[in-house]
A and B are shown apart, each in its own frame.
Chain A
Amino acid sequence: MESSAGARPIAQSEPVEQALYEIRRKIYPRAVTGKFAVWRWIFVWGTQLVFYGLPWLSWNDRQAVLFDLVHRKFYIFGLVLWPQDIVYLAVLLIISAYSLFLFTAVAGRLWCGFACPQTVYTEIFMWIEKVIEGDRLKRMKLDQSPLSARKIRLKAAKHGVWIALGLWTGFTFVGYFTPIQELGRSVLSLGTGPWETFWMLFYGFATYGNAGWMREQVCKYMCPYARFQSVMFDQDTLVITYDRERGEPRGARAGSIDYKAKGLGDCVDCGICVQVCPTGIDIRQGLQYECIGCAACIDGCNQVMDKMGYPKGLIRYATENALQKHFTPAQTLKRVFRPRVLVYTAVLWAIILAAAVTLYQRLPVKVDVIRDRITSSRDADDEKVENVYRLQIMNTSEVPRRFLISVSGIEGMEIKDEGHAVEIGPASSRMIPVRIEADREHVHKGANPIVFTIQTVGEGDPIMITEKASFVVQ
């Protein structure tokens, strides 16, 4: 087979049994402190306070944030979104995508390193692991030690806490779709519905499995974003970089000697950057797709540089151009404002502004006009013609409203019966049949354009909606 010519066989090797599937090497990341670790914890607290706390807030005697799939209404504080508002979901996704493009172009995988749930939950789970089992070396020793009562106790405690946190996460997640206080009561009485139970367990065990067991494998093998973001990098993107020129040749040395005279670089080859890495790579080999940009190696290396009395930043956020052309930090920063970044920023702000304006101007009333199709027109008498319409009026606000329906476009046209004043309850919709009569002398054969006007009467902000329709004459 010619295709195997690329393999480089080892001389005189015996045939060996080779697994076609890679066995995962377990990674024992060492805990690290420093500027970027603080930032990551700020994001952990920020995102998780919002995630775990939001469903417990109340607004207008209901859950403040509730995605009611059964009744197809999404409540977000004062905002009630109906299926017709699905465009805002598209806008949200566009904003997320553009933010991702922008942040990635400026400073690489910021999202991955600081805000992605996979990172955030892994961080929490690793902290639990550290508290129960100890740091890297203790964990490695524990795993290698033979089974003992202590080992069983520690492992059981760790997995117990992990599973409990996972289940709480699953419970919170479902609490966004089912009122969480009722859900809590039905959990306590073991009376949750089949789908609630399924999703709580599924989401709970997905959290436990991904943050406890899978960890970096999710980023390496499952995450599509990890693979496509490299196309958003360019020579001026800030990425976590090892300063090869300054560090090499690396080597251990006594603190007292003049290492420069011995021809050594700043890297003391302590391996801390590898030990702290949650994906188990060596950043000194350059940018790799496994790097999630968490900056743990920067924190780790800076601590060592401090101890050695060397300047910080042997591993740092730097751009390819900055390293090659020896830019000053000011020069590097100037390159951040390159056309690509400016265009991303402009587009992002344009979309955010447009979304904000439309949300602000969004009326809490929607109207659809449907003309009866059974008959194009109906003769009321010799002089008058009738058309029948159905007006679907949706009151998306949470107060009952009274509406006045009027129509214009043809001289002397009028709405018959009492079909012109209606009351519609909070967050509900009604179908109103409306009969309209017009003088034959004021209409022509075919479609006559008319306009329905629906306005609120009574208390509250006046709202007026106009909707175009046709008055058809046979």
Chain B
Amino acid sequence: MSDFTSDFWSYYVAVITVVSIVACAVLLWTMSSRRVPGHQVGTMGHVWDENLEEYNNPLPNWWRWLFYITIVFGLTYLVLYPGLGKFAGTYKWTSTGQYEAEQARAAERYGPLFAKFAAMDIAAVAADPKAREIGQRLFLNYCAQCHASDARGSRGFPNLADKDWLYGGDPATIRATIVNGRNGIMPPFGPVLGDEGVKDAAHYVLSLSGLTHDGLLAAKGKALFAANCVACHGADGKGNAALGAPNLTDEVWLYGGGETTISETIRAGRNNKMPAWGEFLGDAKSHLLAAYVWSLSNAR
């Protein structure tokens, strides 16, 4: 790779470019007139369709001037813009510079609007139809890939339109979730509990929501639950929002509520990640998004 980053290639490209342009100019200059005996126009000796001949007629003069103009244009361009090897051009143009300038222009244009909403309370923002429209567009762009277009989530991705929250549904927490992300970890208990133990624990969890279960297994599972699960899910199984440990008694399931799925969750654990959006979206957009998400479960 060092071959491609050494200065040699920069000079190599620059020299070839300049020499080619100068050679074109010289060629054009020297070929503008020539000494010929007489001045009759000859044909190129090609004949098509019986009598269609190609004459070696001179090009119009303005055509030659266009050629010179392109040479001047090319040289001017190479002085102003990057193109000659590593030479950055006197204009110092870069694609990142252009991108940043466009970003700055957009920020200048939309900044006041975002600033207005950023200064408002989240509940007040959520009450503003225009803010909700912006929030919905942001949601469809950045969040709907996981949480679905209607914000009701899907397997493994929480429903944001109901009253059930893993980490809490007050405006500040929603905003913190968006800005900092979340990493929910359920450790695998298969090795600890063994196949039997996993099944027993699963039946106990089913019983917490009042679902069909085997009472005998659930009773065995209750002890296992007390020994292994209460640290996060609480003695009553109602979860812990500080840890993001789900409530197991409300029949809301992130991965599905059948015996098979619950056993799988206990055996292999779960690792769920919500990325941190704060740096990417910035304060104002995070604020608008938080207001939109909050508005979904707090009807107007």
14-29 of chain A: CB within 8 A of chain B: 14-24
Docked CA distance A288–B230 (Å): 98
29-64 of chain B: CB within 8 A of chain A: 31-45, 56-64
Docked CA distance A19–B152 (Å): 79
Give the total of B residues in contact with A, Cβ under 8 Å.
40
A374 contacts B by Cβ under 8 Å:
yes
Give chain A's interface secondary structure class: mixed
Residue of A whose beta carbon sits closest to that of B39: A18
A262 contacts B by Cβ under 8 Å:
no
User: In the complex, what residues of A have CB within 8 A of residue B35's CB?
Assistant: 15-18
B229 contacts A by Cβ under 8 Å:
no
Q: Decide yes or no: A374 and B144 within 8 Å by CB, A6-B43, A16-B36, A388-B149 being known contacts.
A: yes
- Segment from A109-117, A396-404, A430-438 that makes contact with B: A430-438
User: In the complex, what residues of A have CB within 8 A of residue B32's CB?
Assistant: 19-21
Docked CA distance A382–B48 (Å): 80
Contact A15 B256 (CB under 8 A): no
Q: Which residues of B contact A (CB under 8 A)?
A: 31-45, 56-64, 136-137, 140, 144-152, 154-155, 157, 256
Q: Decide yes or no: A221 and B137 within 8 Å by CB, A6-B42, A6-B45, A388-B148 being known contacts.
A: no
Partner of B34 from A9, A14, A20 at Cβ < 8 Å = A20
A419 contacts B by Cβ under 8 Å:
yes
A312 contacts B by Cβ under 8 Å:
no
Partner of B150 from A3, A7, A217, A417 at Cβ < 8 Å = A417
User: In the complex, what residues of B have CB within 8 A of residue A19's CB?
Assistant: 32-33, 58, 61
Contact B38 A433 (CB under 8 A): no
User: In the complex, what residues of B have CB within 8 A of residue A344's CB?
Assistant: none
Residue of B whose beta carbon sits closest to that of A371: B149
Docked CA distance A19–B32 (Å): 6
Q: B300: shortest Cβ distance to chain A, in Å?
A: 11
User: In the complex, what residues of B have CB within 8 A of residue A9's CB?
Assistant: 37-38, 40
Contact A374 B150 (CB under 8 A): no
Contact A7 B58 (CB under 8 A): no
Q: Decide yes or no: A378 and B154 within 8 Å by CB, A7-B40, A20-B32, A431-B140 being known contacts.
A: yes
A245 contacts B by Cβ under 8 Å:
no
Q: B45: shortest Cβ distance to chain A, in Å?
A: 5
Contact B152 A435 (CB under 8 A): yes
Residue of B whose beta carbon sits closest to that of A381: B251
Contact B40 A21 (CB under 8 A): no
Partner of B59 from A22, A374, A386 at Cβ < 8 Å = A22
Docked CA distance A85–B64 (Å): 42
Docked CA distance A236–B61 (Å): 37
Contact B146 A374 (CB under 8 A): yes
Contact A21 B38 (CB under 8 A): no
A13 contacts B by Cβ under 8 Å:
yes
User: In the complex, what residues of A have CB within 8 A of residue B154's CB?
Assistant: 374-375, 378
Q: B161: shortest Cβ distance to chain A, in Å?
A: 8
User: In the complex, what residues of B have CB within 8 A of residue A23's CB?
Assistant: 61
Contact B150 A20 (CB under 8 A): no
User: In the complex, what residues of A have CB within 8 A of residue B60's CB?
Assistant: 21-22, 24, 217, 221
Give the total of A residues in contact with B, Cβ under 8 Å.
38
Q: Decide yes or no: A21 and B36 within 8 Å by CB, A4-B42, A372-B148, A375-B155 being known contacts.
A: no
Contact B36 A15 (CB under 8 A): yes
User: In the complex, what residues of A have CB within 8 A of residue B58's CB?
Assistant: 19-22
Residues 119-153 of A, flagged 1 when their CB comes within 8 A of B and 0 if not, give 00000000000000000000000000000000000
User: In the complex, what residues of A have CB within 8 A of residue B56's CB?
Assistant: 6-7
Q: Decide yes or no: A388 and B61 within 8 Å by CB, A3-B45, A6-B44, A7-B40 being known contacts.
A: no
Residue of A whose beta carbon sits closest to that of B152: A435
User: In the complex, what residues of A have CB within 8 A of residue B61's CB?
Assistant: 19, 21-24
Partner of A374 from B33, B42, B148 at Cβ < 8 Å = B148
Q: Decide yes or no: A221 and B39 within 8 Å by CB, A22-B57, A375-B154, A389-B149 being known contacts.
A: no
User: In the complex, what residues of A have CB within 8 A of residue B149's CB?
Assistant: 372, 388-390, 433-434
User: In the complex, what residues of A have CB within 8 A of residue B157's CB?
Assistant: 374
Q: B224: shortest Cβ distance to chain A, in Å?
A: 27
Contact A18 B148 (CB under 8 A): no
355-392 of chain A: CB within 8 A of chain B: 372, 374-375, 378-379, 386, 388-390
Contact B45 A21 (CB under 8 A): no
User: In the complex, what residues of B have CB within 8 A of residue A378's CB?
Assistant: 148, 152, 154-155
Docked CA distance A214–B62 (Å): 9
Residue of B whose beta carbon sits closest to that of A434: B150
Contact B33 A20 (CB under 8 A): yes
Q: B198: shortest Cβ distance to chain A, in Å?
A: 23
Q: A386: shortest Cβ distance to chain B, in Å?
A: 8
Q: A367: shortest Cβ distance to chain B, in Å?
A: 15
User: In the complex, what residues of B have CB within 8 A of residue A390's CB?
Assistant: 140, 144, 149
Docked CA distance A13–B36 (Å): 10
User: In the complex, what residues of B have CB within 8 A of residue A326's CB?
Assistant: none
Q: A208: shortest Cβ distance to chain B, in Å?
A: 15
Docked CA distance A146–B43 (Å): 40
User: In the complex, what residues of B have CB within 8 A of residue A8's CB?
Assistant: 38, 40, 42
Partner of A10 from B38, B145, B147, B148 at Cβ < 8 Å = B38
A261 contacts B by Cβ under 8 Å:
no
A190 contacts B by Cβ under 8 Å:
no
Q: B102: shortest Cβ distance to chain A, in Å?
A: 14
A330 contacts B by Cβ under 8 Å:
no
User: In the complex, what residues of B have CB within 8 A of residue A24's CB?
Assistant: 60-62
A5 contacts B by Cβ under 8 Å:
yes
User: In the complex, what residues of B have CB within 8 A of residue A434's CB?
Assistant: 149-150
Contact A15 B59 (CB under 8 A): no
Residue of B whose beta carbon sits closest to that of A390: B149
Contact B43 A20 (CB under 8 A): no
